[in-house]
Amino acid sequence: MSLEKPIQILVAEDDEDDKLLILKAFERTLPKENVTCVEDGEALIKYLKRESPYHDLVKYPNPDIILLDLNMPKKDGREALSEIKSNEDLKMIPVIIFTTSNNNDDIRVTYKMGSSSFITKPSSFEGLVQVTEQIENYWSKTVLLPA
Reading the chain (147 residues) residue by residue, the pLDDT tens digits are: 344 567 899 999 999 999 999 999 999 888 888 999 999 999 999 999 999 999 998 899 999 999 999 999 889 999 999 999 999 999 999 999 999 988 999 999 999 999 999 999 999 999 999 999 999 989 988 888 877
Closest CA to 136 of 51, 57, 60, 34: 34
For position 4, what pLDDT does the model report?
56
DSSP state of 97: E
Helix (H) or strand (E) holding 5: none
Q: Which fold has domain 9-136?
A: Rossmann fold (3.40.50)
Q: Is 131 left (phi over 0), alpha (psi -120 to 50) or beta?
A: alpha
Q: Global pTM?
A: 0.92
